[in-house]
Amino acid sequence: MASLLLHREERSSVATNPQCEIQQVVVEVTQACNNNCLHCYNYWYPSKSPPEGSQPILTRAEILHLVKKVQRQAPLFSVALSGGEPFLRLDLPEIVTDLTNTGLKVITISNGTLITEERLKRMPEGSTFEITLFSANRETHDLLAGRRAFDKVVANLTLLARQKCNFVLACVLTRLNLQDVTRTIELGLALGARAVMLNRINLSRHVFAQADQLVPSAVQLCDALQAADKAAAKYGITVALSVPVPPCVAEPKNFPHLHFGWCPRGSKDAYYTIGCTGLVRPCNHSSVILGDLRRQNFAEIVGGRKSRSFWAPIPPECVDCTHPLKASCCGGCPAAADECLGSRSRMDPFVTIACRPGTA
């Protein structure tokens, strides 16, 4: 999560609450999106309608109420506003202001196409964003975004810098854009990015059928990570891999200037997700409903049996692993295994496809 990336140094000031240790949450303010990304991980795509039923989405006041409810039960430090595309909500600036006024660090995760100067002026000064740029190549970015979007994103990144906002550049690595990694990082830096997130594609149920066309081989991914590592060293920029890349795919010690992230599996660094109708899920990659924050306590939900059982399974292929990072890795993303293969005891499908014999 970019909130971790930007604010890690400040977290020591957060007091510990004995009820719950969770320090960050994701709040999906809408399920609507104006992009049509080839690799979209949202479990409701392509229907783009609330899978929970006809429950109305949370109002601005309800979002603030639920986040404050979490604050009372956990040492909450940051909130990431996600979707869908958050800027499709006309009251997004006010939502950001409400949450910032509670003392939280707020980051808005956006595809960058709907940002306007008027909306930025309604947000707190120095607001933080995570903006997606798939490639420095216009055609590649637009192919992955599913529409013409590149020029608008670049123009709006310039606008963010001019308005003295902070932004992290986020790039999803697929077979289609690996070759552009260096140029994409350089473009992000030229536009004012404070850091870069390289998130390898994380498969979902609807994307799984196209996995062979989208998932890079381990060799291809490592080549891209070597390029990113050189760029991180050359420019002194933080480059983080937030979606776990197991050591059997890419050995972290071979990329000393990259920050490898791991699935927090329900630990204090977990990013439980509050959906746009108030239902809580283990993370933004999972469709599993753990509870309803409108009717239950947050600590009760994340500490309950359903939550604990979600994080417990370990793929059998990983049991005899001797790698020093075994306890951190645990087979990659359990949500992806659950969504694509129907079991969190299965290996993350990204791993099996990337490491498939003969994959080039």
Model pLDDT for residues 30-77, shown as the tens digit of each residue: 999 999 999 999 888 776 555 555 678 999 999 999 999 999 999 999
DSSP conformation letters of 33-64: -S---TT---TTTTT-S-TT-SPPPPPHHHHH
Residues 219-228: what's their mean pLDDT? 98
Q: Does the pLDDT at position 248 exceed 50?
A: yes
- Domain count of the fold of the chain: 1
Instruction: Give the pLDDT score at 53.
Output: 53
Per-residue pLDDT of 300-327, as tens digits, reads 999 999 999 999 999 999 999 999 999 9
Please report whether residue 259 resides in a domain.
Answer: yes
Please report whether residue 132 resides in a domain.
Answer: yes
Please report whether residue 357 resides in a domain.
Answer: no
Q: Does the pLDDT at position 16 exceed 70?
A: no
Tokens of 351: 């791993």
Q: Does the pLDDT at position 5 exceed 90?
A: no
Q: Indicate which CATH number applies to the domain containing 254.
A: 3.20.20.70
Instruction: Give the pLDDT score at 12.
Output: 34
Please report whether residue 11 resides in a domain.
Answer: yes
Please report whether residue 354 resides in a domain.
Answer: no
Please report whether residue 23 resides in a domain.
Answer: yes
Q: Does the pLDDT at position 14 exceed 90?
A: no
Phi, psi of 127 (to 5 degrees): -60, 155
Instruction: Give the pLDDT score at 268.
Output: 92
Number of Cβ atoms within 10 Å of the Cβ of 29: 26
Instruction: Give the pLDDT score at 47.
Output: 65
Q: Does the pLDDT at position 3 exceed 90?
A: no
Q: Whole-number mean pLDDT of the chain?
A: 92
Tokens of 275: 């959906």
Which residue from 244, 269, 257, 198 is spatially nearest to 4, judged by alpha carbons?
269
Task: Give the angle 23-265-348 at the CA atoms, nearest 5°.
Answer: 140
Please report whether residue 360 resides in a domain.
Answer: no
Instruction: Give the pLDDT score at 55.
Output: 79
- 9-18, 38-47, 64-73, 249-258: which range is least confident on average? 9-18
What 3-state class would DSSP assign to 327? helix
pLDDT above 90: percentage of residues in the chain = 89
Kindly provide the b/e burial profile for residues 43-58, where b requires at least 16 CB atoms within 10 angstroms of the residue's own CB: bbbeeeebebeeeebb
- 17-21, 182-186, 235-239: which range is least confident on average? 17-21
**Which of 5-9, 15-19, 212-216 reaches the highest mean pLDDT?**
212-216
Per-residue pLDDT of 132-185, as tens digits, reads 999 999 999 999 999 999 999 999 999 999 999 999 999 999 999 999 999 999
Q: Which residue has the tokens 């939900």?
A: 301
Instruction: Give the pLDDT score at 49.
Output: 56
Please report whether residue 327 resides in a domain.
Answer: no
Residue 56 domain boundaries:
2-313
Tell me the pLDDT band of 358, cut-offs 50, 70 and 90.
low
Are the CB atoms for 188 and 150 separated by under 8 Å?
no
Are the CB atoms for 106 and 94 separated by under 8 Å?
no
Between CA 65 and CA 82 the distance in angstroms is 17
69 φψ region: left (φ > 0), alpha (ψ -120 to 50), beta (else): alpha
Which residue from 335, 355, 353 is spatially nearest to 344, judged by alpha carbons?
335
DSSP conformation letters of 238-283: EEEE-S---TTTS-GGG-TTEEE----TTSTT-EEEE-TTSEEESS
Per-residue pLDDT of 270-292, as tens digits, reads 999 999 999 999 999 999 999 99
Instruction: Give the pLDDT score at 23.
Output: 95
Per-residue pLDDT of 338-356, as tens digits, reads 999 999 999 999 999 999 9
